[in-house]
Amino acid sequence: MDKKEFLPILKTNSKNIRKKVLVCGDPGRADKIAEFLTEAEVISYNREYKLINGQYNQQPVSILSHGVGGPGAGVAFKELIKGGAEEIIRVGTAGSLSKKIKDGDLVIAAAAVRNDGLTEQLVDKSYPAVADWELVARLNRRAEALEIAISTGIVSTIAAFYPELEPLSNNYFSQAGVIAVEMEASALFVLASLNNVKAAAVLAVDGIAVDFDAESYNPHREKVSNAVEREIFLALEALTGED
């Protein structure tokens, strides 16, 4: 790969993409992750895509925000892969679909239901959206070592946040044993698998999504902020730390 390859949507060159990457939806959360790094530097900021490089555990790390939803996030994931990323962990939020998983808990996505609005245009719908097992195992081991409580299972990735004439699929997949719902994981997992890259996702639960009431949704609460800090720490440790 030409290390000077231009990545037009991220508005940067491939030489600026590190092998280990944390991705998140919100550019503000990218800034929050950067507080955990040393030598953090904003490399580029185009549309919703904010790229920050720095060091964690004396290892180079990139942080990239990807916005909301699979199609826009998929552009970012593809350009990260083109730029040379080898391990990508998404740190985001999700709604719980399980009675066992409460507001403020952490979830590790082992696989995802593919209703992301993107990947069926990239590969047949029968192709699974599965996280890299080594990264999932590393996240679980680091969580245990750090005494961070987590739940691991299948998540549902959806393209619609606010329902209209058609209901959301949250209740349906809750009955199928899916533990949480979010909007980007399946796009990440499919693109990573298609391109031989490792990917995983750790998600902070910011509400209960069974019988979801979008009007009462509020992710801007201390309990959620604390969960996000825990997931950032866990993801960085899993990405760079030794078992």
Would residue 206 show up in a list of annotated catalytic residues for this protein? yes
Return the percent helix, strand and coil in the chain, to nearest 5. 30, 30, 35
Going residue by residue through the chain (243 aa), what tens digit of pLDDT does each one get? 445 799 999 999 999 999 999 999 999 999 999 999 999 999 999 999 999 999 999 999 999 999 999 999 999 999 999 999 999 999 999 999 999 999 999 999 999 999 999 999 999 999 999 999 999 999 999 999 999 999 999 999 999 998 899 988 999 999 999 999 999 999 999 999 999 999 999 999 999 999 877 778 898 999 999 999 999 999 999 999 865
The domains of the chain, with CATH numbers, are 6-240 (3.40.50.1580)
pLDDT in the model for residue 92: 98
The total number of residues shown for the chain amounts to: 243
pLDDT in the model for residue 12: 98
pLDDT in the model for residue 243: 59
Query: For residue 168, what is the DSSP state?
Result: P
| Residue given tokens 């604390």 in the structure block | 226
Q: Indicate yes or no: pTM above 0.85.
A: yes
Whether residue 59 contacts residue 240, with contact meaning beta carbons closer than 8 Å, is answered with: yes
C-alpha 170: how far from its chain's center? Answer: 19
Whether residue 77 contacts residue 187, with contact meaning beta carbons closer than 8 Å, is answered with: yes
Catalytic choice (2, 26, 206, 243): 206
**124-131 contact pairs (CB < 8 A, 24+):** 127/190, 127/193, 129/157, 129/185, 129/186, 129/189, 129/190, 129/193, 130/189, 130/193, 131/185, 131/189, 131/199, 131/200, 131/201
Q: Which two tokens stand for residue 131?
A: 């996280």
Q: How far apart are CA 52 and CA 86, in angstroms?
A: 17
Q: Which of 199, 224, 185 is nearest to 69 (CA)?
A: 185
Pairing between β-strand 198-208 and β-strand 106-115 as defined by DSSP bridges: antiparallel
pLDDT in the model for residue 178: 99
pLDDT in the model for residue 216: 80
Max CA pair span of the chain? 51
